Amino acid sequence: MAMAAEDIVRLIKEGLPGAEVRLRDMVGDGDHYEATVISPDFVGKSRIQQHQMVYAALRGRMGGELHALKLTTMAPDTK
């Protein structure tokens, strides 16, 4: 039960076109990742909605084959 980093990045970018995705494998086991996602689609959305959009892009893998993804989301104009 693990996911390749490039698959995670690809799915997020497919779901959120124009997003900038930075992904780090925290442990090196292909199972614990840390991601920062910056997307213009996040403008005006709450943090919960932003995270839900990333989870939606991962199409059900979060909590399943992708065990741990520490997520930080932001709109492009905020730092």
Asked if residue 57 binds another protein (CB under 8 A), the reply is no
The answer to whether the Cα torsion of 16, 21, 26, 29 is positive or negative is: positive
Query: Distance (Å, rounded) from C-alpha 52 to C-alpha 16?
Result: 12
Answer whether 36's CB lies under 8 Å from 72's CB: yes
If the CB atoms of residues 10 and 70 are measured against another protein, the closer one turns out to be 70
What is the rounded (10 degree) CA torsion for 60, 61, 65, 71? -130
Asked if residue 24 binds another protein (CB under 8 A), the reply is no
Minimum Å distance from CB 2 to another protein?
16
Asked if residue 22 binds another protein (CB under 8 A), the reply is no
Asked if residue 68 binds another protein (CB under 8 A), the reply is yes
Could you list the residues that contact another protein (CB under 8 A)?
Answer: 47-48, 51-52, 55, 60, 62-64, 68, 70-72
